[in-house]
């Protein structure tokens, strides 16, 4: 597993743990998606 992908996965877990609203959840998922997309390039 690439280190950046691992960091993105950890970020997702932290984001989900700290998320209080569905709006925040959507923003967190969007951020993680962008991180994974950048890591894939």
Q: Kindly report, residue by residue over 1-41, the tens digit of the pLDDT.
A: 577 888 888 787 777 666 556 667 777 788 888 888 888 77
Residue 9, pLDDT score: 81
Residue 18, pLDDT score: 62
Q: Residue 34 sits in which domain range?
A: 3-40
Count of domains in the chain? 1
DSSP annotation string for 1-41: --HHHHHHHHHHHHHHHH--SHHHHHHHHHHHHHHHHHHH-
Tell me whether residue 9 is exposed, middle or buried, using C-beta atoms within 10 angstroms of its C-beta: 0 to 12, 13 to 18, 19 or more.
Answer: middle
Q: Which two structure tokens, joined as six digits, stand for 19?
A: 């998320």
Global pTM? 0.41
- Evaluate the CA torsion angle 37, 39, 9, 31 in order and state its sign: negative
Residue 20, pLDDT score: 57
């Amino acid at each position: 597993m690439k280190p950046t992908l691992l960091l993105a996965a950890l970020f997702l877990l932290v984001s989900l743990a700290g998320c209080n609203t569905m709006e925040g959840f959507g923003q967190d998922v969007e951020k993680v998606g962008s991180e994974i997309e950048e890591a894939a390039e």
